[in-house]
């Protein structure tokens, strides 16, 4: 009997049917994957299955009985691991694990020593290589992710474990460690629900698969009866060429961005050159210093030494507004934290970088601003109910399109894309790759692509630079063999 | 779409967004309640006094709203007002300078003091609340040193008129408040800087990555606050006819309360300066009612404080009530479907 089930589940938001009569059942001892493009309804499904949303139609069954969101104890049987890491950085691993200390030492008192004693077996069970008293902010991202899973399962009577894109911030090696844990939980008879954009992982880990599209469950099958192509076709409703490459066909040898011996907090003495019309990939393990390096190039983080030149002109270090003015724009990885202005409208988010051009006799011209925002929405195919919609309510892919569109309004010379497709579905990913290629080829823009996805780096980059612990450990031409790049990322070879 | 309709939509959108309609309705209800409960409320003399009072809190509240929009606040507004008011008075009385030149110098000083707050907060990366509490002590102290605790009297009649006079039926300080409001609305709605203020309040880091000079805008806002504080201080001195060290005692708290009642979020990024003026009007009507209804003098401060807290809670209480109702309705609907299953708790 399924431990968690949705029957004819329907959820309607103003203007959108997020879930349309979805049936899905999760059996104990199975890994059930759910895939779908952004906006397919996965998040809404999760929120209904964890009792956050009240469905408008149909029902959610936990342990075979119908449950409403008010039934908190029933939903405690569904352990949920959110996509983004939301641990308390300045508290220890043990404290994070047992918060809110339901079984604490004595009513209202917390014994640090007992917490740490109780934490050891959990850390071992999930192969988290940290001490219970280490602060979470000081432990690696991979351990943080595993700690989140451990925390969700500390409540012992859970029957279903829901993992929402658990590997987005992990490298392939760390993901493998997580999968071992998932396999063990499955062997213990838990129902594991695995939501991911990475199909390789789905095929490696899953037993069965549900595909969602436009709020409907369009397919359900045992995974060994499917192949990747069929799944993609189901997800997008159209076949996608997986072999398509997106390297720029208009690389020049005219230098655009020159970085010399740049040194900062997490990287040392890095030099590289980006040419006009080129897509330059930066690969490395999480924590290799790619983001920190690029944020320092852009001026957001301080650089201790070195110089950066853009189109021949010296760039003032430590001043992002100078970089933007000279035509270098950084598109951050964490859209929520660094990219969007959440409560402002699509219109205001789209126009914020171009206000200089919207001046009229008496201040900003509303008509011109609307026209500009409408242009961005149309050019980058943003799906939004209106220009006045607050951007925080759009899906991740649509937010990313606005962030890119907004950058392009400034007519930049060079763009730094930091993990541009993180948490974005296969169909939209391809759109973003095409967009980058087009920008490089038609406008001669130089593009730096930071990515942890090997396939993405190989498909898109004309040249690839690998960082290892803050230093350049390799430089390769596009289309290089994966193994070589990977060994440079692990610091095995230096060339 | 015609220009007019675009414009109308603009107004409707901004009304919806800042909850201004609800706050305006509250104000109207309070005015009706006040005029029903006291026959003197609608007297010309009383109304003028209320409007003259609210002009000051309203003006400071508008400046405070600009700071709250970037998630910061200034608790030294009252002391900047006092210092600038006293210096204006000393310049024109003791030094015999041209009254209007004295006023201009005092306003400039206000901008500088505000900007000094901003500089300390941004460059030393300190919290606005702590810094402005400290600076309030500094500005208040300097005022005492300058005046040795004595009031400066014999303010020239031209200046006295600015605080005491009327434009038609409208007290002059309120005319200045309206001018400040129009300036603030133009700033936030129609200029780049205004849009950047909302961007910073929404997401400071994203604003930096967009290339916005975040610190410059923050300092600008403190400068504007300093200017408005000085203006309020000068008008208050003009109204009293003498400049003394005790003016503006309750301005910091009342101006923040006015902004919050007016729908400006303490966390930044949401709200409209016009809300602060409505909020100030609500506070002034409350305080006036307390006097008119003859509340015991010793109780006045407690009662007005309580009513202000109640007014601030208005929005959030209605949200809580709405949530409760929804939850109850859903529980009832569920109970109908699963009868007899009252305790579906843990085993």
Candidates B205, B209, B325, B341, partner chain A, best to mutate (most A CBs within 10 A): B209
Residue B125 CA, distance from chain mean position: 25
R_g of chain A, CA atoms, integer Å: 24
pLDDT tens across A318-340, in order? 999 999 999 999 999 877 788 89
Mean pLDDT of A253-282: 94
Q: Name which of B316, B228, B225 is nearest B265 in CA terms.
A: B316
Q: Positive or negative CA dihedral for A14, A17, A21, A25?
A: negative
Closest residue in B to A326 (Cα) is B211
Task: State the nearest Cα–Cα gap between B189 and chain A, in angstroms.
Answer: 8
CATH classification of B41-294, choosing from 2.120.10, 1.20.120, 1.10.3470, 2.60.40?
A: 1.10.3470
Give me the residue from B7, B269, B327 closest to A70, CB to CB.
B327
Residue-range domain boundaries for chain A: 4-236, 255-489
Answer for the pair B75, B136: CB distance below 8 angstroms, yes or no: yes
Task: Indicate the pLDDT class of residue B184, thresholds 50, 70 and 90.
Answer: very high
pLDDT above 90 for B176: yes
Lowest mean pLDDT among A308-312, A376-380, B296-300: B296-300
Interface test with A, best of B187, B210, B214 (most A CBs within 10 A): B210
- Cross-chain CB nearest to A66 (options B190, B331, B338): B338
Answer whether B211 sits within 8 Å of A388, measured CB to CB: no
Which H or E element spans position A172? helix A172-187
Q: What is the pLDDT of residue A280?
A: 96
CB contact under 8 A, B186 and A352: no
Cβ-proximal residues to B78 (8 Å cutoff; 6+ apart), any chain:
B136, B229, B247, B248, B249, B250, B251, B252
What mean pLDDT do residues B213-224 have?
A: 97
- What mean pLDDT is predicted for residues B84-90? 93
Residue pLDDT, tens place only, B232-280: 999 999 998 888 777 888 899 999 999 998 989 888 888 999 999 999 9
User: Which structure tokens are listed for A318?
Assistant: 């430590």
Instruction: Kindly list the domain boundaries of chain B, sorted by start residue.
Output: 41-294, 298-334
- Asked if B269 and A341 come within 8 Å (Cβ–Cβ), the reply is yes
Give residues with Cβ within 8 angstroms of A126, minimum separation 6: A146, A147, A149, A150, A181
The answer to whether A104 touches A111, Cβ cutoff 8 Å, is: yes
Instruction: Report the relative pairing of strands A305-310 and A267-275 from DSSP bridges.
Output: unpaired
Give the tokens for residue A432.
């973003």
**Number of C-alpha atoms within 13 angstroms, CB side, residue B130?**
7
Least trusted range by pLDDT, from B41-50, B76-85, B298-307:
B298-307
pLDDT at residue A156, as a whole number: 66
Q: Is A455 left (phi over 0), alpha (psi -120 to 50) or beta?
A: alpha
Residue A385 or B319, more confident? A385
Q: Is B8 on the interface with A (CB under 8 A)?
A: no
Q: Residue B341 has what pLDDT?
A: 42
pLDDT (mean) for A444-461:
90
| The pLDDT of residue A152 is above 70 | yes
Please indicate if any CB of chain B lies within 8 Å of the CB of A76.
yes
pLDDT tops 80 at residue B312: no
For residue range A272-294, list pLDDT tens digits in order.
999 999 999 999 877 788 999 99
Reported as a pLDDT band with limits 50, 70 and 90, residue B14 is: low
Chain B, window 147-206: residues with a beta carbon less than 8 angstroms from a chain A beta carbon: 186, 189-192, 195-196, 198-199, 202-203, 205-206
pLDDT band at B317 (very low <50, low <70, confident <90, very high): confident
Which of A9-13, A401-405, A474-478, B134-138 shows the highest mean pLDDT?
Answer: B134-138
Q: Which candidate, B202, B264, B286, B266, places its Cα nearest to that of B29?
A: B286
**What ipTM describes this predicted complex?**
0.78
Fold assignment, A4-236: Rossmann fold (3.40.50)
- Top mean pLDDT of A162-176, A393-407, B325-339 is at A393-407
The reply to whether residue B211 touches residue A366, judged by beta carbons under 8 angstroms, is: no
**Would the CA dihedral through B112, B114, B117, B123 be positive or negative?**
negative
User: CA of B56 to nearest chain A CA: how many angstroms apart?
Assistant: 28
Please give the interface size between A and B, counted as residue pairs whose CB atoms are below 8 Å apart. Answer: 103
CB contact under 8 A, B191 and A363: yes
Whole-number pLDDT of residue B318: 73
The token pair at A266 is: 């997490």
Q: In CATH, which of 3.30.420.40, 1.10.1040.10, 3.40.50.300, 2.40.110.10 is domain A255-489? A: 3.40.50.300
Q: What value does the mean pLDDT take over residues A223-231?
A: 84
| Closest CA of chain B from A367, distance in Å | 8
Q: How far is A299 from chain B (nearest CA, A)?
A: 9
Of A66, A352, A367, the CB nearest to B210: A352
Range B286-295 average pLDDT: 89
Q: Tell me what the pLDDT averaged over chain B comes to.
A: 87
Percent of chain A, pLDDT > 70? 95
The pLDDT of residue B326 is above 80: no
A364 or B67: which carries more pLDDT confidence? B67
Per-residue model confidence (pLDDT) at position B345? 37
- Of the candidates A488, A452, A446, the one whose C-alpha atom is nearest the C-alpha of residue A469 is A488
Q: For residue A395, which of A38, A47, A16, A43 has the smallest C-alpha distance? A: A38
Q: What confidence tens digit (pLDDT) does each residue in B110-158 have?
A: 999 999 999 999 999 999 999 999 999 999 999 999 988 888 888 888 8
Has residue B340 got a pLDDT over 50? no
Contact A321, A314 (CB under 8 A): no
C-alpha span between B117 and B219 (Å, rounded) = 8
pLDDT value of position A485:
84
User: Above pLDDT 70, what percent of chain B?
Assistant: 89
- What is the rounded CA–CA span in Å between residue A368 and residue B95? 53
Question: Which residues are CB-neighbours of A168 under 8 A, at least 6 positions away?
Answer: A83, A197, A422, A423
Q: Which of A58, A64, A61 is nearest to A41 (CA)?
A: A58
SS3 A188: coil
Hey, is the C-beta of A348 within 8 angstroms of any chain B C-beta?
yes
* Per-residue pLDDT, B284: 92
A182, A206 in Cβ contact below 8 A? no
Q: For the segment A90-117, what is each residue's pLDDT rounded down to a tens digit?
A: 888 988 888 776 665 566 677 788 888 8
Are domains A4-236 and A255-489 of this chain identical in fold?
yes
Give the helix ranges, DSSP H, for chain B: 3-18, 20-37, 44-69, 77-93, 99-123, 128-147, 157-164, 172-190, 192-202, 204-209, 214-240, 251-261, 273-292, 297-337
A102 touching chain B per CB within 8 A: no
Higher pLDDT, B69 or A56: B69
Q: How distant is the Cα of A161 from the closest Cα of chain B, in angstroms? A: 17
């Amino acid at each position: 009997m399924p431990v968690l089930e949705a029957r004819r589940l329907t959820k309607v938001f103003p203007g959108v049917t997020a879930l349309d009569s979805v049936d899905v059942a999760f059996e104990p001892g199975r890994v059930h994957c759910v895939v779908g493009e952004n906006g397919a309804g996965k998040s809404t499904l999760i929120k209904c299955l964890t009792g956050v949303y009240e469905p408008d139609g149909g029902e959610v069954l936990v342990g075979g009985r119908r449950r409403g969101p008010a039934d908190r104890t029933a939903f405690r049987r569904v352990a949920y691991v959110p996509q983004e890491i939301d641990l308390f950085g300045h508290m220890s691993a043990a404290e994070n694990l047992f918060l809110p200390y339901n079984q604490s030492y004595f009513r209202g008192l917390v014994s640090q020593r007992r917490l740490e004693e109780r934490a050891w077996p959990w850390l071992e069970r999930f192969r988290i290589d940290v001490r219970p008293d280490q602060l979470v902010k000081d432990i690696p991202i991979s351990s943080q992710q595993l700690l989140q899973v451990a925390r969700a399962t500390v409540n012992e009577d859970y029957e279903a474990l829901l993992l929402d894109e658990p590997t987005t911030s992990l490298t392939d090696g760390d993901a493998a460690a997580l999968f071992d844990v998932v396999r063990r939980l499955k062997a213990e008879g838990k129902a594991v629900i695995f939501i991911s954009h990475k199909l390789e992982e789905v095929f490696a880990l899953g037993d069965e698969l549900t595909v969602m599209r436009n709020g409907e469950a369009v397919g359900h099958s045992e995974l060994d009866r499917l192949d990747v192509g069929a799944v993609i076709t189901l997800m997008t409703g159209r076949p996608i060429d997986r072999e398509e490459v997106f390297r720029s066909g208009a690389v020049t040898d005219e230098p655009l961005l020159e970085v010399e011996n740049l040194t900062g907090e997490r990287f040392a003495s890095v030099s590289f050159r980006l040419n006009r019309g080129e897509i330059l990939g930066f690969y490395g393990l999480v924590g290799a210093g790619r983001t920190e390096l690029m944020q320092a190039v852009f001026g957001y983080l301080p650089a201790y030494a070195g110089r950066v030149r853009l189109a021949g002109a010296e760039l003032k270090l430590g001043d992002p507004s100078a970089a933007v003015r000279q035509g270098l724009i950084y598109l951050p990885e964490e859209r929520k934290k660094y990219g969007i202005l959440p409560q402002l409208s699509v219109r205001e988010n789209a126009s914020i970088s171009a206000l200089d051009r919207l001046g009229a006799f008496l201040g900003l011209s509303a008509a011109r601003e609307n026209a500009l925002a409408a242009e961005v929405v149309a050019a980058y195919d943003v799906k939004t109910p209106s220009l006045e919609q607050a951007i925080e309510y759009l899906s991740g892919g649509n937010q990313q399109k606005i962030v890119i569109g907004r950058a392009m309004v400034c007519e930049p010379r060079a763009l730094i894309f930091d993990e541009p497709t993180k948490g974005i579905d296969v169909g939209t990913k391809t759109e973003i790759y095409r967009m980058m290629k087009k920008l490089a080829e038609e406008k001669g823009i130089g593009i730096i692509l930071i990515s942890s996805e090997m396939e993405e780096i190989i498909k898109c980059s004309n040249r690839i630079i690998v960082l290892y612990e803050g230093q350049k450990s390799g430089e390769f031409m596009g289309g290089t063999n994966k193994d070589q790049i990977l060994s440079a990322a692990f610091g095995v070879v230096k060339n | 779409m015609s220009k007019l309709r675009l414009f109308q939509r603009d107004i409707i959108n901004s009304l919806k967004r800042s909850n201004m309609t609800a706050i305006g309705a509250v104000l109207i209800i309070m005015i009706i309640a006040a005029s029903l409960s006291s026959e003197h409320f609608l007297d010309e003399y009383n109304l003028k006094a209320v409007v003259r009072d609210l002009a000051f809190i309203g003006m400071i509240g508008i400046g405070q709203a600009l700071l709250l929009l970037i998630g910061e606040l200034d608790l030294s507004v009252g002391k900047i007002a006092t210092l600038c008011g006293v210096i204006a008075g000393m310049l024109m009385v003791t030094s015999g300078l041209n009254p209007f030149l004295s006023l201009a110098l005092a306003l400039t000083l206000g901008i500088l003091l505000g900007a000094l707050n901003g500089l300390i907060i941004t460059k030393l990366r300190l919290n606005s609340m702590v810094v402005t509490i400290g600076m309030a002590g500094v500005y208040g102290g300097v005022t005492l040193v300058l005046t040795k605790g004595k009031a400066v009297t014999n303010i020239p009649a031209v200046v006295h008129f600015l605080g005491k006079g009327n434009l038609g039926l409208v007290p002059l300080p309120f005319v200045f408040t309206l001018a400040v409001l129009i300036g603030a609305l133009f700033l936030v709605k129609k200029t780049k800087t205004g849009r950047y203020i909302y961007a910073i309040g929404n997401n400071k880091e994203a604003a930096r990555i967009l290339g916005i000079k975040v610190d410059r805008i923050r300092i600008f806002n403190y400068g504007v606050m300093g200017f408005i504080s000085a203006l309020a201080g000068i008008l208050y001195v003009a109204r009293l006819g003498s400049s003394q060290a005790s003016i503006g005692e309750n301005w910091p708290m009342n101006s923040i309360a006015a902004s919050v009642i007016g729908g400006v979020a303490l966390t930044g990024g949401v709200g409209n300066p016009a809300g602060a003026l409505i909020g100030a009007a609500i506070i002034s009507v409350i305080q006036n009612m307390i006097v008119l209804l003859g509340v015991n003098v010793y109780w006045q401060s407690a009662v007005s404080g309580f009513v202000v807290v109640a007014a601030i809670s208005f929005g959030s209480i209605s949200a809580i009530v709405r949530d409760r109702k929804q939850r109850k309705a859903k529980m009832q609907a569920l109970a109908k479907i699963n009868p007899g299953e009252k305790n579906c708790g843990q085993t």
